Structure 1
Amino acid sequence: MYAIVEIAGQQFKVEKGRTVYTHRLAGDADAALASDQVKVLLVDNDGSISVGAPTVDGATVSAKIVEHLKGEKVIVFKKKRRKGYKKKNGHRQYLTKVLIEDITV
């Protein structure tokens, strides 16, 4: 059984016991996500697919926040040839690790 869910504006394919990394969410570690933060868009229950318009009625995904962390560093390098212009920046995205505990239809 898997589901397509929307968390913090991003869509993920999730199964029970999987972890996903989303943009930073409000809440402490080991806190459960509210039902309005996790929108279930599609559920596949052993070949029986339910598609929501926009969400599946009666389907819920329970999840909890495991930890808050920072992602890998991304180097942003800009250059204009023959102009002497070079700029190097780095960026680390703030992330939240979310554990999917259960999917119910």
Structure 2
Amino acid sequence: MFAIVSIAGQQFKVRKNDELFVHRLEGNAGDKIEFSDVLMTGNEGNIKFAGSAKVQAEIIDHLKGDKVIVFKKKRRKGYQKSNGHRQYLTKIKINDIA
């Protein structure tokens, strides 16, 4: 069984026992969370859209992603600017799709 769920503004295809990285969520490591914004569920070819399904997950850890370098340059003008960014992420584990 799988579900397409919206988590923190992004859509993910999840199955039971999947671990994934999402944008930072409220809560501490070990907390149980529930997502009710399920867009679609499927089970062996049977697809249901926008049902009353819920996805239950557990927060495993809070961490930061890899550094992304943003480099801006205008040629022949002597303009260069470098900037870096690390996204705050939360690792979650899907426990159940009900």
TM interval, shorter chain, is over 0.9
**Structure 1, residues 20-63: CA drift from partner, whole Å, max 9, x if none?**
11111110001011x3x4411100011110001xxx12x12110
**Structure 1, residues 35-93: CA drift from partner, whole Å, max 9, x if none?**
3x4411100011110001xxx12x12110111000000001000001111001111000
Of 48, 71, 74 in structure 2, the residue corresponding to residue 77 of structure 1 is 71
The answer for the alignment partner of 1:48 in structure 2 is 46
Q: Secondary structure at the match of 1:82?
A: coil
Structure 2 matches for 1:26-65, cutoff 5 A? Answer: 26-33=26-33, 35=34, 37-52=35-50, 56-57=51-52, 59-65=53-59
Whole-angstrom CA distance in 1 between matches of 2:26 and 2:55:
18
Percent identical across equivalent pairs? 58
The answer for the alignment partner of 1:68 in structure 2 is 62
Match status 1:11 vs 2:5: no
Whole-angstrom CA distance in 1 between matches of 2:92 and 2:37:
14
Whole-angstrom CA distance in 2 between matches of 1:5 and 1:12:
5
Where is the strand percentage greater, Structure 1 or Structure 2? 2
Tell me the TM-score normalised to structure 2 length.
Answer: 0.95
Whole-angstrom CA distance in 1 between matches of 2:73 and 2:8:
34
| Aligned Cα root-mean-square deviation (Å) | 1.0
Unaligned runs of 5+ in 1: none
